[in-house]
């Protein structure tokens, strides 16, 4: 299957001093919540042994994240 996603993020820089640098990052992984395949397993149909089905496993639809960076 096709796999695609949109990740977006923004970083806010804090006040920079001679000794420190700070920032906040806000991001969203898979912003339009597409169900991408993580794995595909094949199962035999219990009613017909000659038939096999592909079953898709999806992990996460959308994942928000907040990061704080502090450098010294």
How far, in Å, CA of 64 to CA of 49, rounded?
43
- Residue 52's domain comprises 8-71
In a domain, 45, yes or no: yes
Question: What does the pLDDT read at residue 71?
Answer: 92
In a domain, 2, yes or no: no
Question: What does the pLDDT read at residue 48?
Answer: 86
In a domain, 17, yes or no: yes
Per-residue pLDDT of the chain (72 residues; tens, 9 = 90+): 889 999 999 999 988 888 999 999 999 999 999 999 999 999 998 888 889 999 999 998 999 999 999 999
User: Is the pTM value of this prediction over 0.85?
Assistant: no
Number of folded domains that form the chain: 1
In a domain, 3, yes or no: no
Spatial neighbors of 18 by CB under 8 A, at least 6 apart, are none
């Amino acid at each position: 299957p096709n796999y695609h996603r949109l990740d977006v993020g923004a970083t806010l820089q804090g006040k920079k001093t001679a000794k420190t640098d700070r920032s906040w990052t806000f991001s969203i992984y898979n912003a339009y919540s597409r169900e991408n395949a993580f794995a595909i397993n094949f199962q035999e149909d219990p009613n017909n042994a000659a038939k096999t089905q592909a079953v898709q496993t999806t992990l996460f639809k959308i994942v928000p994240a907040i990061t704080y960076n502090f450098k010294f």
